[in-house]
Structure 1
């Protein structure tokens, strides 16, 4: 008798992409990791959901913790980061949020990152290291930078 075994899904974290308008274009904030996990990898913001938090609340908290930015305009992208863990046999999945920030907003990194840069989408595609990040950024460029995002995707805080 065959028994089907499922690979469990775990959604314990979030991801966030920050955009700021510079002239006619949007720039994407990329951070360089400075921790044992993903050391020196360029990526966007990510972190854990704490007990009692909604995913979007965790995204706002992680944005502020990792960059010092208070984001007042947050959207759900309907995209997810996903990674399979062969050691623990589960799929980690994290909803991706988009935050728009003022062009004068200053970045103040926490201990998790050693550097940051605001880059064009083209440079972001070439810089991110994790498989799947480029596809997430391409969708964000299409739906959140090249056109006005759908109102119903906005998080009402």
Structure 2
């Protein structure tokens, strides 16, 4: 199943530092390639974990490579709530819909990084 890049926050590490570290480890992209911003936090009380979600936009053309999983660029017009293809019990669709609400801020903020 397809999923976003992600991982765990290490002891003493900030959420944003973990997001950049995981992005680089799993895709080869760095902070020079993508400017991340903290989009949302989700708490799964019954499962006992918190999810910090960071989003970004590539600031330049960049090659990606995945050692753990196949990476690919996906169009945004697919059904990310389709649980037969996407992981996260539909949460990927919710996260992307929420990001779309703030698209103008997202593009303005990340474009200024260039």
Q: TM-score, normalised by structure 1?
A: 0.56
Aligned residues: 103
Q: Secondary structure at the match of 2:106?
A: coil
* Residue segments in structure 1 that go unaligned for 5+ positions in a row: 1-40, 86-90, 153-157
* Residue segments in structure 2 that go unaligned for 5+ positions in a row: 110-114
Structure with more helix by fraction: 2
Other-structure match for 1:88:
none
Show the 5 A alignment for 1:6-155.
41-72=1-32, 73-80=35-42, 82=44, 84-85=46-47, 91-102=48-59, 104-110=61-67, 112-113=68-69, 115-123=70-78, 125=80, 126=82, 127-131=85-89, 132-144=91-103, 147-149=104-106
Structure with more strand by fraction: 1
User: C-alpha separation between the residues in 1 aligned to 2:96 and 2:44?
Assistant: 14
User: C-alpha separation between the residues in 1 aligned to 2:100 and 2:51?
Assistant: 19
Alignment RMSD: 2.5
Q: Bigger radius of gyration, 1 or 2?
A: 1
Q: TM-score, normalised by structure 2?
A: 0.75
User: C-alpha separation between the residues in 2 aligned to 1:105 and 1:150?
Assistant: 18
